[in-house]
Amino acid sequence: MPHRDTHGAGKGELEWRRPNSAPLGGLLHHPIYAGAYVNGRRPTDPRRRAPGRPATGKRVAKPDAWPVCLRGRLPAYITWERYQGNLR
């Protein structure tokens, strides 16, 4: 998998690493790989936000709760049915 260091001697350099389960799981569970443009997958829950930390409070929404899901808008690597199977 491609990786760019954000600090240190190799800052900004592209490096290839062996994949582990987190990036591969992200690939298999992201709707963009099924050719869908989606907005609202990770809405912010105000009750879970930490004061002074704007990136906190995110949760994963169920597909039927996504405000925008436009299938067939991007090149697909897997079918929509396979994507739904990955989510299960």
What does pTM read for this prediction?
0.67
- Angle among Cα 54, 59, 38 to the nearest 5 degrees reads 100
23 vs 36 pLDDT, higher one: 36
Q: Is the pLDDT of residue 22 over 90?
A: no
For residue 86, give every residue at least 6 positions away whose Cβ sits within 8 Å of its Cβ, in sequence order, or none. 28, 29, 78
Mean pLDDT, range 24-34, rounded to an integer:
86
Q: What tens digit of pLDDT does each residue of 47-78 get?
A: 888 888 888 888 889 889 999 999 999 999 88
d(CA 34, CA 76): 5
